[in-house]
Structure 1
């Protein structure tokens, strides 16, 4: 950053430090927009997906039935709440709620 602040161009700085021009442009742009060089938060922040409103229902449903499959949950969500989601979305929500899936050992 200091090298660019001293008046050198972005491409010149990239050549000087043997990095890509993008590695120079991105921090310069970040500092211009935010005034800082701290990285932006990654991800979407959570808390606003399709399943947020039914998180309690999902948890209760899994706790009540126990051996329910993701496909069954997807079908029930579509039927009872008119929410169409992929089973991976349901799995991410369940994982976020602390509900993991462990197969029972044979004969248990």
Structure 2
């Protein structure tokens, strides 16, 4: 009983289609055109997205050049060295780091 066939009119070109399913809206020729158009639109969207991604990647690369990675810690700035200086000064590691950072800021401003 589920094999009913219908006569439909193509919504695009108006051609009469006989013995088609209940949900058929377009003739095969119009369906191929619509499918090709849909593929073109998807390709355009993908290309636009790719261009946007490329532009963003270039901006990120420029930012990386402008803000390079901080230098790796030297022997005098290693955790062990800072911790040793902190113990000698009677401070904790965190207090020592804060103290040294503050001293560097003051020196950079010319206050020391």
Q: Counting strand residues as a fraction of each chain, which structure ranks higher?
A: 2
- Superposed pair shares fold, TM > 0.5: no
Q: Counting helix residues as a fraction of each chain, which structure ranks higher?
A: 2
Question: TM-score, length-normalised on structure 2?
Answer: 0.27
Question: TM-score, length-normalised on structure 1?
Answer: 0.28
- Determine which structure has greater relative contact order: mean sequence separation of CA pairs < 8 Å that are 6+ residues apart, divided by chain length: 1
